[in-house]
Chains A and B, each alone.
Chain A
Amino acid sequence: MQKLLSRLLLLSMLTSLGGCASLGVKPWQRDLLAKKEMALDAEGVDLGLDDHIYFSKEATSGGRAFAGGGCGCN
């Protein structure tokens, strides 16, 4: 059941890709998106430190970035 659910989620994610074709902006409309703080990995150092804390204190890791390995902290 769990596996079926995840496959369905993946499928719906992939099909939504087709619907995104009309989204977006013209190249000269990127003034706001080009701000440093709008980068998805802005504050990368903070996110990395957070990942390390939660990796060692919780059972789940990854999602935003690769999940595994690298530390004996759990």
Chain B
Amino acid sequence: MKHQPITTALPQSPWQLYRRGDYLVGSFTAMASPCELLMDTVDLALGQSLTELAWRECQRIEAKFSRYKPDNLMAKLNASNGKPVSLDAETHSLLSFAQTCFELSEGMFDITSGVLRRAWTFDGSDRLAEANAVEALLPLIGWNKVTLDNHSLTLQPGMELDLGGIGKEYAVDRVSQLCQQQAPELSVVVNFGGDIQVTRPRRHQAFWQIGIENPDPTSPAPLILQIRGGGLATSGDARRFLLKDGVRYSHILNPKTGYPIINAPRSVTVAAGHCTQAGLLATLALLHGDEARTFLDQQGVKYWLLN
């Protein structure tokens, strides 16, 4: 064997770390989103260990809760066919949280509504779903048909769970927690595709300046936010909708009717204490359709809304 010269430097690690001014940026791809960690330090070793930690946690959460993996707990639940499936503590608390959201929203936030994707394709066209296709799916929807006890979950045959609505925000909060535990004095921004958590204020500056993708696709400039601490999340996708006879159907579906919410804002960004909380508030706002703004005003949170 002849020695190979170092012809390539391409790091074999799935994440990257680089310095931007007086802080470090760790980045990788997870949950189909660009993920970034901004760390208010220039200590490369600390930056590496936190980025590695964040990446591992994302891999773990994605492997465990993604509905695209063939052999994880989600797949087992969705194929349980009416039989109870025992839950670990983490899954149980996530499902309990989803249950709380279902109750708080009076059934509008429902993690069993993912089956409606079989009927709806939001591609900007005017093709609404077939009425009988929607009708046929409605019996498979409803968290109230689900039995969640202390250690197990029982789904009705044919029902499916989809944690897509809270998974990414949960990952942001988890990673933020891990960073806080590893480096309590360090200010870290966890930014997974625009869902953000800031662990604590920066050392020398009051704010982190964070650019997020502008929810208005016609505007090329990113939205620059100044964040001191807390969480931020955006719900809605300005590119996913249907338009028919002048009515704009958002991709947010009403789990009770099986039809999209009409006249909902195109996107809502909410600031709150935790990213998960902000994400839920943004989603609930969208579920309020044209009353989204009123809902948000009542919550007394800071928000940005794009109609």
Q: A interface vs B, CB < 8 Å?
A: 26-31, 33-36, 39-41, 44, 48-49, 51-52, 55, 61-62, 64-68, 70
With an 8 A cutoff between CB atoms, is B4 at the interface? Answer: yes
- B-side residues, CB < 8 A to A, are 1-5, 7-8, 10-16, 18, 27-29, 34-36
A28 touches B7 (CB 8 A): no
Nearest Cβ on chain B to A27's Cβ, whole angstroms: 4
Instruction: Chain A residues near B12: list those with CB within 8 A.
Output: 34, 36, 39
Across the interface, do A31 and B28 meet the contact criterion of CB distance under 8 Å? yes
B27/A28 in contact, CB under 8 A? yes
The chain A residue sitting closest to B7, CB to CB, is A40
Contact assessment for A65 and B4 in the assembled complex, using a CB-CB cutoff below 8 Å: yes
> Which A residues touch B11, using CB under 8 A?
30, 34
Whether A66 pairs with B1 at a CB distance below 8 angstroms is no
Contact of B16 with A39 in the complex, beta carbons under 8 Å: no
The answer to whether B27 and A51 have CB atoms under 8 Å apart is no
The complex places the Cα of A30 from the Cα of B17 at a distance, in Å, of 12
A49 to B27, CA, bound (A): 36
The smallest beta-carbon distance between B57 and chain A, in angstroms, is: 16
Cβ of A28 and Cβ of B36 under 8 Å apart?
A: yes
Chain A residues near B1: list those with CB within 8 A.
Answer: 48-49, 51-52, 70
Residues of A within 8 A of B36 (CB): 28
Chain B contacts of A33 at CB under 8 A?
A: 10
A55 to B1, CA, bound (A): 9
From B5, B10, B29, contact of A29 by CB (8 A): B29
Chain B residue contacts of A28, Cβ below 8 A: 16, 27-29, 34-36
Selected A-B contacts with CB under 8 Å, 30 pairs: A26-B27, A26-B34, A27-B16, A28-B16, A28-B27, A28-B29, A28-B34, A28-B36, A30-B10, A30-B11, A30-B14, A30-B16, A30-B28, A31-B14, A34-B11, A34-B12, A36-B12, A39-B10, A40-B7, A40-B8, A41-B8, A49-B1, A51-B1, A55-B2, A65-B3, A66-B2, A66-B3, A66-B4, A68-B2, A70-B1
